Amino acid sequence: MAVYTPKFPDSIVAEYWNKGRANERADAILRLLDRRGIEVSDAVRERVKDCTDLDVLSVWFDRSLAVASAEELFVEE
């Protein structure tokens, strides 16, 4: 019995893989802020969820461990 294995271009797979990773990282940032009791405005939530740059999201995650307000995620050092 033959098994159908779809072949997708690597670029499509990578794009969806990275979108999934970005969504997970954004969710982790927002959850961490929530668990720390930090209020997150709709504007901050939207900016975090809309970001697809994994490097930027990593920086924001690291900052989310210490910020006093959600807006501080975006302050450049």
pLDDT digits 0-9 by tens, 6-54: 666 667 766 777 788 999 999 999 999 999 999 999 999 999 999 999 9
Residue 60 has pLDDT above 90, yes or no: yes
3-15: per-residue pLDDT in tens? 666 666 667 766 7
> Residue 36: CA atoms inside 13 Å, Cβ hemisphere, count?
18
Structurally, the chain folds into a number of domains equal to: 1
Question: Is 49 within a domain?
Answer: yes
Contact 31, 62 (CB under 8 A): no
Q: Range of 49's domain?
A: 10-74
pTM of the complete model: 0.80
Q: What is the pLDDT of residue 1?
A: 62
Whose structure tokens read 């668990």? 35
Q: Which residue, 10, 74, 9, is CA-closest to 46?
A: 74
Interatomic CA distance for residues 64 and 32, integer angstroms: 7
Contact 65, 29 (CB under 8 A): no
Question: Is 4 within a domain?
Answer: no
